[in-house]
Structure 1
Amino acid sequence: MFDFKHIKGDIYGGVTAGIVALPLALAFGEASGAGPIAGLWGAIITGFFAAAFGGTNTQITGPTGPMVVVFAGLVAEITAERNADFAEVSGIIFAAVILAGILQILFGIFKVGQYIRLVPYPVISGFMSGIGVIIILLQASRLFGGAPERGGTLGGIEAIPGAIMNLNPIATVIGFVSLGIVFFWPKSIGKFVPGALAALIIGTLLALPFGADQVPKLVSDIPVFETFGDRFPAFVIPNLDPKLGFLILESAIILALLGAIDSLLTSLVADNATRTRHDSNKELIGQGIGNSIAGFFGAIPGAGATMRTMVNIKTGGMTKLSGMIAGSLLFLIVVALTPLAAEIPHAVLAGILVKVGWDIIDFAYITRSHKGPRWDLILMALVLLVTVFFDLIAAVGLGVFLAALGFAQSVAKEQLEAIGEERFVSFTDEEKAIYDKADGRIRMFEFTGPLSFGAAADIAHRVRQNVKGREVLILDFTQMPTIDVSAVYALQSIIEDAKRENRHVILCNVNAEVRKMLDGLAILSLAGQTDVDITRLQALQRAETYLAGASSGTAEGTVPEGAPA
C-alpha cells in the first residue's frame, strides 16, 4: 500500500500542502455556514481517508469551492425551512453528506469513473491553465498586504489596484522575498529543502517581530478554542427527516456527482503532471469513504483539490503518504500547533501560491498550440476563459461537449467521403467480374466503422447523389461493428428512396448486433430481406440474377427460385 522510497518528498509535499490547505479550509468552513472548525475537520478527515483508500497517489482532498457552494445552499435551505440555527438541524444536513459519500462509493463499485476520464487534452490544458490563472489573480493583492473583499476571480482582480495603491510595505517585502525564494531557490538545495517550504519558514521568521496589525497573518482566521476538548468534533447522528427527504436526496446526488467530477478532473491534472495513471473507480471509493466519515463528525464534504494537489506534486509528493501527512499535519495544527500556525503571514502563502499558479499554466501547449488544429486551440482558450471567469465544472462540461461535437463532425466527414467512393481493393476476381459485367447497373456502398449520428443526417443525400442510373443498390456492412438509432433511420430513408425509384436493395455481411437493431426497428422487413448475413459475393450473385430477370421481364426483375443464396 505504501512506498517509502519517496518518504522525503512525501513529507515535504504533505507538509507544504497541509499548510497551504489551512487558510483555505478555514475560509471554506466559514463560507459554508458550518463554521471554520467544520472546514478544518473536513480537510483533515477527507484528506486523510481519501488519500489512504483512493486511487490517485498525489491527490490532496479537502473542501473545494464547488462543493462548498452546494453545501452552503443546503444549509441555507434547511435552516430556512425549519426556521432554526445550524446546530439544531445539523443531523439533517450531514445526513446528505453521508449519503453523498455512500453514492460515491457505489459509483466506484459500479465503475462509473471510467467515463469521466474521457476528457480530451485541450480541455485538460485549458482547465489546468485556468486554475493557474485563478490562483495568481486571487493571491496577487495579498502580495501587497491587501485581500479581496469578495470571492471569485473578479473579486481578486478588483482587489489588485487598491492593494497596490495602499500597499503594506512590510507585507510587500515579505511577500516578494517569498516569491523570489520559490522562483530562484537553488535546485541543489531544493533536493533537501524545497523552495516552498524554505519560503514558508523564512517568510514567517521575517514576520515574527511584527504584529498582526502590521502584517496580515493567519491569526485572524484561526478560531480560538476555550478548552482542549473544543478542538475535537462531536459525533453527529444523521436525521433522515421524511419531510425533507427529497431535498436531502437531491443535495446528496449533486454533492456526489460534483465531488466525483471535481476529484477525477484533479486526478487527470495530477496524471499529466506526474506522468502516471490513476485508478478512477478506486479514487471514487476513497472519496466516498472520506465524505461518509466526515458527515458523521460534522465536517464539510470535500473533493480532490487541484491547487493543493499541484502544491503537493511540485514540492515533492509522490505517493498517497503525502495526502495522509497533509491531513495529519492539519490534525496536529488543530490540537497542538494553533499558536505557531497563527503566525504565518498571508503574504508568504501568496508568494508560494503565485509560483504554484505559474507552474500549473500549460505553457508547453500554449506556445505550440497555434501549430496544431485550430479547433483544439479555440477549445483550449474557451475552456480557460470559462474556468477563470465563470465556473470550473461548467468549463469542463462545455469543453467535453464541444470536443465531442468536433469529433463527431470529423468522423462523419470521413465516413461520408468514404461512402462516395467506389473501392475495389478487397474485391476477389470473381466479385470484380460480376461487378464489371453489370456495366454500371450495380452500385455498392461499403460502410466503414461505426456509422455515427453525425453522418446520419447526410448519408441518405450522399447515396442519392451516387446511385443515379443504377438498378441495384448493395449495402455492405462488413466493416460496421455497431450502429445507432440515427443511422438506422438514415438507412430507412435510403431504402424508401430506392423503392420509390424501383431500385432493388440488397444488404450483406450484417453482424448479429447490427441485425438486432435493424430488425428491432423494422428495417429488414422494409427491405424485404431476412438472410442479411450473406457474403458480398452472394449479394453480387443475387444482383446479377435480379438484373437478368429484369432484362427478360421475369416478374419485374424478382430473384427466381433457385437463385444463389
Structure 2
Amino acid sequence: MIFLSTLSAKFKTPGDFWGGLASMLVALPASVAFGVTIYSAISPSYAVFGALAGILGAAALGLIAPTFGGTDRLISAPCAPAAAVLSAFAIELVKQGIAPSSIVLLLTVLGILTGLIQMFIGFLGAGRLIKYIPYPVVSGYLSGVGLIIIGSQLPRMVGAPLDSMWWKATLSPALWDVRSLVIGGATVMAALLAPKLTKAIPSTILGILAGVLAYVGLAYNDATMTTLTDNKLVLGALGASGSGYLDTITGRWAEIGDLKLAQIAALFGSALTLAALLSIDTLKTCVVIDQMTRTRHDPNRELFAQGLANITSSAIGGIPGAGTMGASMVNLSSGAKTRISGIIEGVMVLVAALALNAFIAWIPVATLAGILIVVGLRMIDTEPLRFLESRATVFDFAVVAVVIGFALMVSLIAASAVGVALSILLFVREQVGGSVVRHKTFVNQRSSTWYRPEAEMRLIAQRGDKAVIFELQGSLFFGTTYELYALLEPEIKTRDYIILDLRRVQSVDITAAHMLNLVRDMLRERGVPLLLSNVREQLPNGRNLLEFFRQTGLIDDTDTVQVFKTIEAAIEWVEDRLVGDLEKPAQEETPLRLQEMDLFQGRKDVTLADLEGRMKQLSVKSGETIYTMGDQERELYLIRRGAVRIMAPISGSRQLHHIATYGRGDFFGGLAFLDDRARSDTAIASTDIDLFVLSLDQFNQLADEHKKLALVLLMAISRTLAQRLRHADGERTLLHV
C-alpha cells in the first residue's frame, strides 16, 4: 500500500505513461534479441529460453532499478555489453564441453555475482568518480552513442540484411527493401515534425503510429505483408507464454545446488568485468540524462539499485543489464519526467509479453529503427562546433572528436577509458594554464595584526622589501612546479626572508614537495629561513599537509623552515627581526609612564600628572576579557605593559577572528570613545597587561580645564586611527589587485 501511495503521489504527468510505453516498445524487442543472442550460443534449441530470459530481464530491471534508484527518466534493460560478455562466456563453456544445462546455471550465477559486485561498488562510494568527467568528454560520448545508434539502425531502416555494415547498407541500393524505406521514412518524418505540430502526444508515439499506418497502407497491395510467416518486415512472435514461466524458474533453482564452489569462484573474474562494463554503461547514461535535463543523479544509489535489479533478474531466469541509452532517450523524448516512467516500462513489458504478444508482433522493424535514428540525431551535440571559433577552445573540440572516434572505431568502453585519460589532461592543462601565485607582495606592503609605534613602522617600511610574500593557490603538482620554481629562484638569491602562504592551496604532490625541499636547501646555504603559513592538517583532498611535509623531509628539526598558523603571524615574526627588537616577555617589561608614550611626547609633567590622576590603572591577567562586542562603556585604554588581542566577526559570521594586536605604548578602544557607539569588537589580554583607562566623562572634565591637552589627545588619537585606516585600505587595495 505504501508503494502504491508513493507511486500515485509521484505520477503527476502523462509524459511518464507515454515515456514508459514508448521505451518498452524499444527495450522489449532489443531485450529479446539480446537473450536470443546469448542462449543461441549454447544451442539453437535454447533460443526460446533466450527470448524468455530477455523478457524476464527487461521486466525485472524495469521494476527494480527505478524503484530503488534515484535517476529520473532512466530506463534499465538488458544491453549490448551484457550480451557480448555473456555470449562469449557461453561460447567458451561450449568449447570446454560443459553441458548446456550447466551453462544456463553458470550464466545465472554469473549474473548474481555481477549484481553483488555492483552493489558493493555503490556501497563503497566509487560511483562518485563519474562526476569528474568534464563536458567535452560527456559531449563526445553523447554524440558517439548517437552516431552508433544511427549506424546500427540504418540496415533495419532500409531493409538490408541485419549483418550488413551501415556504410554498405547505405551505399548499396541493391540491398534495400523499398517497403522498409517507406515505412522508416514515414516514421522519421512524423517523429521529427510532431513537436512542431502538437505537444499533447509524444513524437515517439506519433512516429510509431505513422510507421504502422504506412505498413498497413503497403500491405493493402502486398499479400506477403499480411502474414507473420517469413515476414522480415515486422518483429514477429516473441515466443513467450505464461505457462512456461514458472516451470523454467523452478527448474533452474532446483539444479543450482549441483554447482561446486570452485565453479562459482571461477566466475568472479568474468563477473568483475561484466560489473565494470554495466556500471560504466549505466553511469554514462545517467550523465547524458543529467546533461540533457540539467539534473543531477546519485551514482552510488544508482549502482546499488542496478546491482539489486541484476540479482533479481538473474534469480528469476532473466539476463542482467544496465541503464540503456536508446530506451532512456526515447523515454525522455516522449515527455517522461520522473523515475515512475521506468516502473511503468517494466509493467508494460510484462503486459506486452503476456497480453499484447500478437499486437507487438506486427510492429514494423523499420519503424523502431526510424525511432532510434531520430533519438540518435537528437543525441548528437552540435554545441562543440563553436569551440572551433576560438584558439582557446580548439583543444576541447579535439577532445570531443577523439572520444567520438574511439566510440565509433573501437568501442564505447574504450571511449570511456580515453575520456578518463583526456579528463586528466584537461585538468593538467587548466592547472598549468593558471598561475599558482595569487599575489606577490613584500612585508612593507602588508603588516601583521600587531600595530607598532611609528618609529618601528618607518623602519619596517625601509627594510620590508627584504622579505617577500608569495600567496599560493590551486594545486602544487608536477605540472605547476617549474613555474613556481622559476618565480622563486630570483628571490632565493636576493631576499632575507621568503614567506609562502598556503591558505588557498588545494593539493600538493611529491614533485612539488621535492621542489620545496630544493628551495629550502638553497636558502639554508645563505642562512635564510623559509617561512610557511596556513599549513593545514586537512586539505580538500583529505591529505594532512603538515604531516605530508614532515614525511617528505621539508619540515625537520632545524629552524630553516618555520611554520606559522596564519600569514599575519609569519609577518609579525619577520617584523620583529627587521626592527631588531624581539618581543620581551610581559613580566620583564617595565610599565610605561604617560610621559614615555608617543601620544604625550613634549607635554608638561604637571598637565600629564593631572591627566594621570583622572585615569584608572587596571591590571588584567592573560586570557581575560577587557571588554566585549556590544558593550556600552566609552573608555580609552592605553597599554603600559603587555599586549592585547582584538577579536571581531568577519563577513557576517558570528565566529570571532583575530584582527589586531596592540602592544606596549599603543592604545585601543578609540572608535567607541570617539563616536559614542557600542563596541564593535572584543578585547582579550594576550599576556598579563597593565593599562591606563580614561573614561569619556573624565575626558570631558579634562577638556574643561586643559583644552589644549584635550585637543592634542584627540588629534593624536585621530591621527593614529587615520594611519591605521590608511594602512588597512592600502592592504585591501593590494589584495584585490
Class of the TM-score when normalised by the shorter of the 2 chains: 0.7 to 0.9
Q: 1:8 aligns to what?
A: 14
1:561–1:472 Cα change, 3 Å: farther
Query: 1:461: how far off?
Result: 4.3
SS of corresponding position for 1:511: coil
Alpha-carbon distance between aligned partners in 2 of 1:434 and 1:407, rounded to the nearest angstrom: 45
User: Which residue of 1 is the match for residue 54 of structure 2?
Assistant: 39
Bigger helix share: 1
Equivalent residue number for residue 200 of structure 1: 208
Quote how far apart the aligned CAs of 1:354 are: 1.4
2:72 to 57, 61, 72: 57
Secondary structure in structure 1 of the residue aligned to 2:501: strand
CA contact (8 A) 1:54 1:285 kept: yes
Q: Following the alignment from structure 2 to structure 1, what is the Cα–Cα distance between the partners of residues 109 and 194?
A: 47
- Residue 232 of structure 2 is aligned to residue 216 of structure 1: yes
* Bigger CA radius of gyration: 2
The amino acid across from 2:498 in the alignment is L
Partner of 2:508: 483
Letter paired with 1:539: A
Q: Which residue of structure 2 aligns with residue 249 of structure 1?
A: 268
Of 346, 352, 372, 1:333 maps to 352
1:79–1:501 Cα change, 3 Å: farther
Out of 183, 195, 198, the position equivalent to 2:192 is: 183
Q: Percent identity?
A: 27
Structure 2 counterpart of 1:556: none
Within the candidate set 337, 360, 380, 1:361 is matched to 380
TM-score norm. by structure 1 comes to 0.86
Question: Comparing 112-121 with 128-137, which one deviates more in the overlay?
Answer: 112-121
Match of 2:545 in 1: 514
User: How far, CA to CA, are the matches of 1:297 and 1:204 in structure 2?
Assistant: 34
**Could you list the runs of 5+ residues in structure 2 that have no partner in the other structure?**
1-5, 41-49, 220-224, 538-543, 586-737
Alpha-carbon displacement from aligned partner over 1:42-76 (angstroms, at most 9, x marks no partner): 22211221122111121001122223223333333
| Structure 1 residues 296 and 561: CA distance shift in structure 2, 3 A | same
Alpha-carbon distance in 2 for matches of 1:245, 1:561: 76
Displacement of 1:315 = 0.9
Query: Are 1:384 and 1:395, in contact at CA under 8 Å, matched by a contact in 2?
Result: yes
Q: Which amino acid aligns with 1:124?
A: V
Q: Which moved further from structure 2: 262-271 or 499-508?
A: 499-508
1:438–1:544: 8 Å Cα contact kept in structure 2? no
8 A Cα contact 1:174 1:203, kept in partner:
yes
Alignment partner of 2:472 out of 447, 468, 471: 447
Tell me the distance in 1 between the aligned counterparts of 2:109 and 2:434: 51
| Letter of the 2:86 counterpart | F
2:431 pairs with 1:411: yes
C-alpha deviation, 1:269, in angstroms:
1.3
Give the match for residue 30 of structure 1: 36
Q: Which residue of 2 aligns with 1:138?
A: 152
**Separation of aligned partners in 2, 1:184 and 1:397:** 37
Would the alpha carbon gap of residues 434 and 525 (structure 1) be closer, same or farther in structure 2, given more than 3 Å must change?
farther
The answer to which structure, 1 or 2, has the higher relative contact order (CA under 8 A, 6+ apart) is 1
Q: Find the residue that maps to 1:523 and give its secondary structure.
A: coil
Contact (CA 8 Å) 2:54, 2:319: kept in 1 or not? yes
1:118-161 C-alpha deviation (Å, 9 max, x unpaired): 221121111111111111222222222114416xxxx3223222
CA–CA distance in 2 between the matches of 1:148 and 1:272? 32
Kindly provide the CA deviation profile for residues 283-317 of structure 1, in whole angstroms up to 9, marking residues without a partner as x.
Answer: 12221111010121222111100111000010122
Counterpart CA distance in 2 for 1:452 and 1:441 is: 28
SS at match of 1:204: helix
Distance 1:96 1:419, change over 3 A: farther
Q: Match of 1:477, SS?
A: strand
Tell whether 2:188 aligns with 1:174: no
Is this contact kept in 1: 2:466–2:497, CA < 8 A? yes
2:141 is aligned with 1:127: yes
SS in structure 2 of the partner of residue 438 of structure 1: helix
- Show the counterpart of 1:94: 108
Residue 114 of structure 1, CA deviation: 2.2
Change beyond 3 A, Cα 1:333–1:543: same
SS of 1:84 mapped into structure 2: coil
**Structure 2 residue aligned with 1:66:** 81
Q: CA 1:288 to 1:495, structure 2 compared with 1: closer, same or farther past 3 Å? A: same
AA aligned opposite 1:101? G
When normalised by structure 2's length, the TM-score is 0.67
CA change 1:491–1:561 in 2 (3 A) is farther
Residue 19 (1) aligns with residue 19 (2): no
Matched residue SS, 1:47: helix
Q: Which amino acid aligns with 1:75?
A: A
In 2 relative to 1, CA 22–156 (structure 1 residues): closer, same or farther, beyond 3 Å?
Answer: farther
Q: Does 1:76 align with 2:107?
A: no
1:110-509 paired onto structure 2 within 5 Å: 110-149=124-163, 155-162=165-172, 164-185=173-194, 187=196, 189-191=198-200, 193-208=201-216, 209=219, 210=225, 211=227, 216-219=232-235, 222-224=237-239, 228-231=242-245, 233-235=248-250, 236-237=252-253, 241-363=260-382, 365-371=383-389, 373-416=393-436, 418=438, 427-428=447-448, 436-438=461-463, 440-456=465-481, 458-480=483-505, 482-500=507-525, 502-509=527-534
| Alpha-carbon spacing, 1:317–1:186, altered in 2? closer, same or farther (3 Å) | closer
Bigger strand share: 2
User: Hey, what's the Cα distance between the residues in 1 that align with 2:473 and 2:444?
Assistant: 14
What is residue 660 of structure 2 aligned with on the other side?
A: none
Residue segments in structure 1 that go unaligned for 5+ positions in a row: 550-558
Deviates more, 1:102-111 or 1:510-519: 102-111
Distance 2:309 2:59 in 1: 9
Q: State the SS of the aligned residue for 2:479.
A: helix
Cα 1:510–1:277 shift into 2, 3 Å = closer
Contact 1:61 1:303 in 2 (8 A): yes
Following superposition, the deviation at residue 29 of structure 1 comes to 1.7
**Partner residue in 2 for 1:552:** none
RMSD: 3.3
Aligned length: 545
1:171·1:216 contact (CA, 8 Å) conserved in 2? no
CA deviations on 1:292-347 (whole Å, 9 max, x unpaired) are 10121222111100111000010122222211222222222322322222211111
> Distance in 2 between the 1:424 and 1:204 partners?
82
The amino acid that maps onto 1:366 is: P
